[in-house]
A and B are shown apart, each in its own frame.
Chain A
Amino acid sequence: MESSALKEYLKSKGATLVGVGDVSRALTDEIIHLNRGIAIAVNRSLNRTTVDLLSRLQELTVEWLKERGARALAIPPDSDRITDTFVSRLYKLFSHKTAATCSGLGWVGKNGLVINRKYGSKLTWATVLTDAPLQADLPTTHSECGDCDLCVKHCPSGAIRGRVWSSGDPLREMVAYEKCRSLKNDRLLLKGKPNCGLCVTICPYSRNGRKKVEPCGVCVGS
């Protein structure tokens, strides 16, 4: 089944990127039949509008697939998860990173986030799994971070390990998440907001290729 029609349709409704990946090797028994992952990304500002748009795009995708007689399971954006439903138990069985890399939309950067060549890590992701025999895109197999280690150097919690991802070793831990979390907790107590996101903004791919970092009082020296 051609996937270009679905891609065009979703882009016309506001999606920044849409990819279809063969995700069979990452599936557990409960969802083993849903071997196509549709990765949908919206260029964010991470606010309510982005998340609402993504949810809407997901609904449209599910409708589109259902109309064609296929099954679908929508995995909502991480920041918009209701956890008290039955179906939410399945969300953690599949990560958006898998769908994104399997559909060739990016690699997992040293910062542990999906990096797309054009948009860097400034994307919010949602996934729809389906058994529709959609033509799959070529997967990303290797990191394109190269020897850049801006995020490693500048992470205020020192959580980024500087490891290089490849699709052959997808579960490798890129970031010491407990360090990242404890920094965010501290900030939450101090400022009422956990926001950090430096590993997103510092990435040259997120800044249209600009490698030079302007010194700034907040991040330098912390």
Chain B
Amino acid sequence: MVDETKKKEILEKLKNGVIQYDEDACREGAQEAVDLGMDANEAIFEGLVAGMEEVGRLFEAQEYFVPEILMCADALYAGLDILKPHCQQMDLGIKGSVVIGTVEGDVHDIGKNLVKMMFDVAGFTVYDLGRDVPLDKFVEEQLRTDSDLVCLSAMMTTSMVGMPKVIEKIKEKNPECLIMIGGAPTSKELADKWGADGYAQDASNALKEAIKMVAFLRKLREEKLKK
């Protein structure tokens, strides 16, 4: 039986490690969790992700800027690397796989990488196509992997124009597939117009959306556990 006080302490350590972008603390906390035989999923979601949620709030409140966010993400990954091998496959009742990439002509992928991270954490299988991805590659990859979610990112108006083409092609071949778009020039209106299912405006909103998604998954998971 895992000691409750000790467990709380470790979760707190993981959470604060992420918030204070302290990679060593995250590594240490993760190792302690493993040594103690704690549930790795719990350590990830109640510790690391809980910390990242707070980071999202700090970012919104403009307490944190881009460099802090990235350092927090690095700290989260430091802990995740240790915990992931000890994770039981999470059964969320949905098939979690996602194709993600920055569209052709665009090399800005900080936002994309943050969103990718949250999917990673949530236990999704992530097919990351990287940046400057040819439009057809998204369609091909979706068909190849049969992913139920495709995330398109762009930071420039000039590259954004490729998005509706991808959406159309994917929807034509596989109407079930959900598509989320994001990046500075995109908008809710454009997402609706182009037939995308989800939208995030920029790095902060993408992060918020991703956090919302993960929080939602967490809730699902908790409800499942109660049953």
When C-beta atoms are compared, the residue in chain B nearest to A33 turns out to be B65
Q: How far apart are the CA atoms of A30 and B110 in the complex, in Å?
A: 10
Q: Does A47 contact B (CB under 8 A)?
A: no
When C-beta atoms are compared, the residue in chain B nearest to A66 turns out to be B20
Q: Does A31 contact B (CB under 8 A)?
A: yes
Number of B interface residues, CB 8 Å? 13
Q: Residues of A contacting B66 with CB < 8 Å?
A: 30-31, 90
**Complex contact B67–A89 (CB within 8 A):** no
When C-beta atoms are compared, the residue in chain A nearest to B21 turns out to be A87
CB-CB under 8 A for A71 and B67, given A85-B74, A86-B74, A87-B74: yes
Q: Does B43 contact A (CB under 8 A)?
A: no
**Complex contact A89–B65 (CB within 8 A):** no
**Complex contact B68–A86 (CB within 8 A):** no
**Complex contact A71–B65 (CB within 8 A):** yes
When C-beta atoms are compared, the residue in chain B nearest to A28 turns out to be B66
Q: Does A34 contact B (CB under 8 A)?
A: yes
Binary contact track A66-100/B, C-beta < 8 Å → 1, others 0: 00000101000000000001110110000000000
Q: Residues of A contacting B65 with CB < 8 Å?
A: 30-31, 33, 71
Residues of A contacting B: mostly? mixed
Q: Does B70 contact A (CB under 8 A)?
A: yes
Q: Residues of A contacting B77 with CB < 8 Å?
A: 85-86
Q: Residues of B contacting A86 with CB < 8 Å?
A: 70-71, 73-74, 77, 110, 113-114, 117
Q: Residues of A contacting B70 with CB < 8 Å?
A: 85-87, 89-90
**Complex contact B110–A31 (CB within 8 A):** no
Q: How far apart are the CA atoms of A71 and B74 in the complex, in Å?
A: 17
Q: How far apart are the CA atoms of A71 and B70 in the complex, in Å?
A: 14
> What is B's interface to A at a CB cutoff of 8 Å?
65-68, 70-71, 73-74, 77, 110, 113-114, 117
19 sampled A-B residue pairs with Cβ under 8 A: A30-B67, A33-B65, A34-B67, A71-B65, A73-B67, A85-B70, A86-B70, A86-B74, A86-B77, A86-B110, A86-B114, A86-B117, A87-B67, A87-B70, A87-B71, A87-B74, A89-B110, A89-B113, A90-B70
For the complex with contacts A85-B70, A87-B71, 16 further pairs of A-B residues with Cβ separation under 8 Å are A30-B110, A31-B67, A71-B68, A86-B70, A86-B71, A86-B113, A86-B114, A86-B117, A87-B67, A87-B70, A87-B73, A87-B74, A89-B70, A89-B110, A90-B66, A90-B70
> What is A's interface to B at a CB cutoff of 8 Å?
30-31, 33-34, 71, 73, 85-87, 89-90
A-B pairs, 4 with minimum CB distance: A86-B70, A87-B70, A30-B66, A86-B73
